[in-house]
Amino acid sequence: METFGQTYPATLEVDRAERIANWRPIVQWLLAIPHWAILNALQDLSGIVAIISWFVILFTGRLPEALANLQCLIIRYGNRTYAYVGFLREEYPPFTFETAAPADPGSYPPVRTGFGPELENRNRLTVGFRIILVIPQAIVLAILVVAAVVAWVIAFFAVLFTGRWPEGLRSFVVGVMRWGTRVSAYFLLLTDRYPPFSLE
Indicate the pLDDT class of residue 7, thresholds 50, 70 and 90: confident
Model confidence over 107-159: pLDDT tens digits? 999 999 999 999 999 999 999 999 999 999 999 999 999 999 999 999 999 99
Model confidence over 185-199: pLDDT tens digits? 999 999 999 999 999
Question: What is the secondary structure of 151-183 as a DSSP string?
Answer: HHHHHHHHHHHHSS--HHHHHHHHHHHHHHHHH
Residue 85 to residue 105: CA distance in whole angstroms: 21
* Domain coordinates in residue numbering, the chain: 2-187
SS3 of 54-83: HHHHHHHCCCCHHHHHHHHHHHHHHHHHHH
Roughly how many angstroms between the first and final C-alpha of the chain, as a whole number?
Answer: 6
Mean pLDDT of the chain, nearest integer = 94
pTM listed for this prediction = 0.92
Model confidence over 8-30: pLDDT tens digits? 999 999 999 999 999 999 999 99
**Is pLDDT at 2 greater than 70 in this prediction?**
no
